[in-house]
Chain A
Amino acid sequence: MTISELITLLRQDITQNYRMRGAKGARTEKKTLNRPILWTIGGIVVGVIIIAAVLWIGPIIGWDVISQIVSENLGLGSTIFNAILLFAFLGSIMFAATTVGNSERMEYLLVMPVEMRTIFMEKYLLLIIYSSIFWLVIGTPIIIGFSILAAHPIGYLSILAFVILVLSEVTIGTSIGGLLGLAFAKVLAGRRRLKQIGWAIMTSLGIVVGSLWYASIYLGEGAGWFNQIIDIAMALGFASDLTPGYYVSVMTLGLLVGAPLSIQHFFATLLIPLSAGGLLYLNSYVSELAHYSGWMRSESKRTPKEKVLEEHPPWNPNPFPRLQMSITTSVSMWYNLTSVKRESKVFTQYLLGPLRYLIWLILPVFAWGDELLFILPYMLTAALVSLAVSYGVSFAGYETVYEGRNLMNLQLAAANMSDYVKGKVLSAVPFTIAAASIVGVFYLIFLPATWFQIPAMVIGCIFVNLVAGAIAANAGASNGDFKAERMFTRQRGAAVRPPIKGLAIIKAQLIPNAYGYMGLFGLVLGSTFIATVYGLLVGILALYLLLPVFALISLRLYRSYSFKAGVKLAQLEASEYL
């Protein structure tokens, strides 16, 4: 490994190959110069403003006061400096496990006549630069401002100390995170099922914790969370004297105010950049090792040398039991289920995604307690409708649009496209039944008096789901971006387009929701009213007489929208999406 190789690589990556004007072409990745120039100018402006602010506010408080406060507690900034380390650590775990790993870009880089560890080290250096730029842009001007105020020569050394130490801290965080990510990669190497389960757990945790987080802010406990985080940080020893952040703080602030620094402090601080360098090298070494051991291997796209005969029973998908459907519909249904199930991330997103807004429907009841208990049935009904609509939109709407590359096949297969759409819509039904049943159980627990309405709700929900799916598929077929790809692994930094855009997705969400609310609320309110006026039996009778009417209307809508969607799909120019 030579420094010149490292610098060449860094220069290639940082200066890149910018164009003065936006390069045309669907596949070009050439970027314009505007963005880097704007960011640089923005950074300089922010820096100048911060320096000016420090120089303006500093004399008002008085340098003597500031200097005295800082001298008395040189570990003042340890929490912030430790937080910088923690952020770098958290951000780099995924980076190491995915990007530094054998991505296709890496494979291209590795044909260069440079040692692999040089290339990996360069990637980590780049990550370090990007992770520390924020802290440097904000922090350096503050230190510059104060060292101008301090007006003694040693004070200016604090600027250098700050820059070096922050870079070292970010390096330590990034390297430890990277090693952890590599450890994950080692554990998960070649274990598809474990990886999928991991993704499912992480995704559902993300959704649930995220919803609860926003809910807690909504419920007015926002500040509480923040204090708790500070408490946790303190408990973890973030302000302790034995952390890197403490020594960074002591060194930077000590130089700033010209406090006497012990030789012990000096050596402890020297240890930070040294260990940063060591960890960085270790990281690139382990990355190289990982590459040679195949921890990061992506699935091969080359055809094997020997012909591999895959033996499996002929695929003969069955329709739902006791349900007449064409072969196209049943094939479409099972194909849809299989392709959604393939990526546990996608599957979890589709199934648990609605929790994000369902929580808003249920929350008011828990937030205000008994006074609002009377609206609980309506909230639960609304939740049911939202679930059904959301499943319809994802399983039928999105999945129809993700069919882009497959569109030509479908058209050439002379499959009945309406039947194909119907299959997609039907694939959401089992999940709707399951989710609706779970909500139904809640219903029974909170409002046992409504027991007679629950089966009707669940059944009504299925029909709402059918209508929602067909309408979403129609919206997708007419206004979907068939170039969109369902690549959850590439969602960071890469263009993953929303499948259905603009008004179409609003329509696909609003119309079925409105229909579902009207239908199910009509059934609930109507039957409750009749039951209170004419007695329970008449109420039940009326409900289960009205339900088939609702079902029939829904089926008509489902058929007509599936037909429309099918016709639109058949008319698309499929060659554009190959």
Chain B
Amino acid sequence: MERGFAWHHSKQPRHAQADFEDMFSHNCNSVLIAASEHDLDYWYRSLFMDKLGHQSGVLPGNGTG
């Protein structure tokens, strides 16, 4: 079962980390991130790999689980 939040924050790494840790400490296992085209064009790595992969131990999904 997926439990999670839709996350619309400023995507600043330090806020992201704090927010994700908070979510996981509340037994959530998924985050829906609102990303713009610009984010995906230029910042795919920064947005998904660095933030989720390394810092929180979660891998990016495609929304289906």
Contact = CB atoms under 8 A, between A and B. Distances in A.
Please say whether chains A and B are actual partners in one complex.
yes
Interface of A: 2, 4-5, 8, 12, 110-116
Contacts of B53: none
Contact of B13 (A8, A111, A113): A113
Contacts of B16: 113
B42 A115 contact: no
B42 A8 contact: yes
A110 B12 contact: yes
A12 B41 CA distance: 12
Interface of B: 10-14, 16, 39, 42-43, 45-47, 50-51
Chain B interface, >50% SS class: helix
A5 B51 CA distance: 13
Contacts of B46: 2, 5, 112-114
Contacts of B12: 110-111, 113, 115-116
Contacts of B50: 2
B11 to A, nearest CB: 4
Contact of A115 (B13, B39, B45, B47): B13
A2 B45 CA distance: 11
A12 B10 contact: no
A158 B41 CA distance: 40
B11 A111 contact: yes
Nearest to A113: B11
Nearest to B43: A113
Contacts of A5: 43, 46
A114 B14 contact: no
A8 B39 CA distance: 12
A12 B11 contact: no
A4 B43 CA distance: 10
Given A111-B10, A115-B12, A115-B14, 8 more contacts: A5-B43, A12-B42, A112-B42, A112-B46, A113-B11, A113-B16, A113-B43, A116-B12
10 contacts: A4-B45, A8-B42, A8-B43, A110-B10, A112-B39, A112-B43, A113-B11, A113-B51, A114-B43, A114-B46
Contacts of B42: 8, 12, 112
B42 to A, nearest CB: 6
Contacts of B11: 111-113
Prevailing SS type, chain A contact patch: loop
A54 B28 CA distance: 70
A374 B47 CA distance: 78
A8 B11 CA distance: 17
B3 to A, nearest CB: 24
A114 B43 CA distance: 8
B10 A114 contact: no
Contacts of B45: 4
A556 B12 CA distance: 65
Nearest to B48: A113
A114 B39 contact: no
A108 to B, nearest CB: 11
B6 to A, nearest CB: 16
A111 B43 CA distance: 12
Contacts of A112: 11, 39, 42-43, 46
Of residues A4, A12, A113, A115, which shows the largest number of chain B Cβ atoms within 10 Å of its Cβ?
Answer: A113
B9 to A, nearest CB: 9
Contacts of A2: 46, 50
Which 3 A-B pairs have CB atoms at the shortest separation, nearest pair first? A113-B11, A113-B47, A113-B46
A72 B45 CA distance: 54
A2 B46 CA distance: 9
A36 B32 CA distance: 42
Nearest to A115: B13
A417 B47 CA distance: 57
B19 to A, nearest CB: 13
The CB with the most chain A CB atoms within 10 A, among B11, B16, B46, is that of B46
A4 B10 CA distance: 20
A2 B11 CA distance: 16
A113 B10 CA distance: 7
Contacts of A114: 13, 43, 46
A115 B13 CA distance: 6
Nearest to B16: A113
A112 B16 CA distance: 12
Nearest to A107: B10
B18 to A, nearest CB: 13
A115 B46 CA distance: 10
Contacts of B39: 112-113
B38 to A, nearest CB: 8
B46 to A, nearest CB: 5
A134 B13 CA distance: 36
A112 B12 CA distance: 7
